[in-house]
Amino acid sequence: MIDHNEITLDWLLDDVLSQGSHTKRQLVSYTKRIPAFNPLSVLELGKDENRFFWKRNDDYLYLVGIGNLIELAAKQVDYQAIYEEWIQLVDKAFVHNPYLVPGTGLVSFGGIAFDDRKETSQLWENFSASQLRVPKFLFVKYKNDYYLTINLIVQDNEHVDLQLQNIQQEEQRLLQDLGEFPQLGTILRRKEIDTAYWKQTIEKAKHSIQNHLAEKIVLARELRLKLSAPGEMSPVVKKLIETQPNSYVFAFEQGNECFLGATPERLVRLEQHKLQSMCLAGTAPRGENDVEDKRVRHELLNDKKNREEHDFVVQMIRRAIEPYCEDIYIPDNPTVYPLKNLQHLHTPVTAILKHEYHIFDIIRQLHPTPALGGTPKEVALAFIRDDESLDRGWYGAPIGWIDHQNNGEFAVAIRSGLIQNDEASLFAGCGIVKDSDVEAEYEETKIKFLPMLHVLGGQR
């Protein structure tokens, strides 16, 4: 009997090739357990190729993808088509993964545009409306265990030995432990984009809400930065991990551009049909000391506007998942979710996904939540599409991963920025309701810029 934990990559490739000519251009995915490594060192050492990074908000899971072996990309968002294309890829692949660990094996990582009906601007021209990437190497830290998935295209016997030799050399190089990382620069200049127009749009949104055309509309704006040096991916990610410990940290590199951030908001996690989501809406700053922090927390829990804004999200998520799930549990009252610069009202959601559905069914229903779009969804989206000057691109949209076992997790890409060499765009939004105060909403977005401003050198 073969011990599947002992199968080597060369043995697996021999087995694939022995199956005949139909295996030409065969995608092979091979996973093994490896000694402990530093995910950030791997990320930095892989800088010659496109990379991605993911850290779960509880620190249980790290994903570091190096290289771009296969990319599934489209100019439109069609969630069923995304899933079917992924499943076809999985079905045709030769996958060796003896570990029932979420995020191991054949995995794709990527993002989806906030609204593919909004005309794409030059800012986001290098990012597709939907885009999933299968890396050459996937390094995984899950709790206290470490894994490596090697993905490659096998064409024929002629090149296999050379491929194996190159893979072994690259694996050894990427697993070195770095003592130092590139230094972060500073912010030379800031420019708020279309602030006066944005404030006018708040008044227009309030008018629509007061006339009962919508209940809530979320409006976002952009802060453009000039940096003293190119924004290197690994030191920014390192700083985000250090300063935002309760957040998802994500990064997706596309040539010399990188979209990254530290978001507190999970959209959906799926593990063996066990579904988790969250309602995160209603925002307040952190206090200067414990006494003030406790006071602000109490005010947030009892603030009518914030509780209404939060309840919009709770009810929307319940309605969205009910046709797809069983055993739904949502607590009656929120708690406060603390971050370094902010605190939010938070309600967890758990359920069991029915077997005939998949993670993209849930993403389609949940995105955008009222915390990022508004309510009613289509009315709010139409207002944003027509009146918001910002092309959100991947900001506020789903970003995450799916594996060959149909596990996956997507977060909402807020508290984020798009780095383009020595410039960057940061994004922040706020929920507009009938009684919103324009200047208060403006100040809220300034607070939401802080996590990215801090790591890029603007805040000490």
Q: Name the token pair of 418.
A: 């798009």
Instruction: Give the integer Cα–Cα distance in Å for 109 and 50.
Output: 12
> Is 384 exposed, middle or buried, given 0-12, 13-18 or 19+ CB atoms closer than 10 A?
buried
DSSP single-letter state for residue 195: H
Per DSSP, what are the bridge partners of residue 218?
A: 431
Catalytic residue, chosen from 118, 136, 216, 238, is 216
Nearest alpha carbon to residue 97 among 30, 35, 27: 30
**Which of the following is catalytic: 265, 309, 409, 441?**
265
Question: Looking at residue 23, what DSSP letter applies?
Answer: G
Q: Please report, to the nearest 10 degrees, the dihedral formed by the alpha carbons of residues 231, 235, 241, 242 taken in order.
A: -110
Q: Please state, in angstroms and as integers, the Cα–Cα distance from residue 126 to each residue in 18, 79, 112, 418, following that order.
A: 40, 20, 13, 11
Does the annotation mark 136 as catalytic?
no
Distance CA 332, CA 8 (A): 51
Active site residue 206: no
End-to-end CA distance of the chain: 60
Largest pairwise CA distance in the chain: 72
| Count of alpha carbons within 13 angstroms of residue 75, beta-carbon side | 3
Give catalytic residues, as residue numbers: 216, 265
